Amino acid sequence: MPLVTSKEMLLKAQEGGYAVGAFNAENMEMVKAIIQAAEELKAPVMIQTTPSTIKYGTVDTYAAIVAAEAKKASVPVCLHLDHGSSFELAMQAIHAGYTSVMIDGSKLDFEANIAETKRVADVANALDIPCEAELGKVGGKEDDLEAEADTNTDPQEAKEFVERTGVTSLAVAIGTAHGFYVGTPVLDKERLSEICEVVDIPLVLHGASGLSDEDVSDCVKRGICKVNFATELRAAYSKAVKEFLEEKPDTIDPKAYGKTAIAAVKELVMARMKVCGCDGKAE
């Protein structure tokens, strides 16, 4: 089917008490793997690209690839700009055919974040495109954004932020980090519950790669409606290619190890979808 926006799928997740899996893709093979997983599990799915991925390709390239693969699918597929770094990039993504965007002003102070976020949300809302934002700082590194320490989201600030910006979903900081964890993460789940009590739009969990199934599931039960996975997909893809070439070093056809990588990513995506509880939720 044609690409859909994230609005309906996230509202259904909010009502149904599950989360939509949102998976970052770097190339055609990863896009195929993610959609194949969604098809097999009958799950709605969001495919994401970050600014560095877009720099590697372009918004037009990724929009064309995802739209072509989604057209063949029977489940809803949304193409989302992850960690949009500027108003201009968000507009480029919308123009290219992205059906959801994020503007990440978390590196700014509270008022500046509101101003930058509202600027994108106003245009997106006028075009019926959902807009995600982030309040608080998720630790670790994502693209060119790096937080040295976590600054968890304040519930009352979250309420004010949503009311003043008009965003349709909000990524919150509760102790997660981008990339793989060095130690065992300690999540402030009570804070998540408090945010959920005062914010009525779908909440998003970033930095889920490396979290235990139990932590992800508990966050979903407490109100998370979208869970982002990126680093572990890259790791699974790269590991599969390396192992293939170690076994068959004379291989020169990229399609050969590409198929192996697709299978590895698909398996991981299916496992994460089941943890999010979105399997079987596509109509």
Domain around 218: 6-231+262-276
The H or E element spanning position 203 is strand 203-205
Write down the pTM of the prediction: 0.92
> Among residues 82, 154, 215, 279, which one is catalytic?
82
Q: Is 80 annotated as a binding residue?
A: no
Q: Does the pLDDT at position 186 exceed 80?
A: no
Interval 28-44: pLDDT, tens: 999 999 999 999 999 99
CA gap 12, 28 in Å, rounded: 28
Nearest CA among 174, 165, 279, 274 for reference residue 224: 174
42 domain-assigned: yes
Q: Could you give the strand order of the β-sheet that contains 177-178, starting from the edge strand earlier in sequence? A: 145-147, 139-142, 177-178
281 domain-assigned: no
Following DSSP, what letter does each residue of 233-261 receive, concatenated? HHHHHHHHHHHHHHH-TT---HHHHHHHH
Confidence at residue 142, expressed as pLDDT on a 0 to 100 scale? 47
252 domain-assigned: no
Supply the CATH number for residue 114's domain: 3.20.20.70
- Identify the band that residue 184 occupies on the pLDDT scale cut at 50, 70 and 90: low
| 82 belongs to the catalytic site | yes
Q: Does the pLDDT at position 27 exceed 60?
A: yes
Q: Is 83 annotated as a binding residue?
A: yes
239 domain-assigned: no
254 domain-assigned: no
243 domain-assigned: no
240 domain-assigned: no
CA gap 32, 222 in Å, rounded: 31
Contact 220, 13 (CB under 8 A): no
Q: Which residue has the tokens 């599969």?
A: 240
1 domain-assigned: no
Structural domain total, the chain = 1
Q: Does the pLDDT at position 140 exceed 70?
A: no
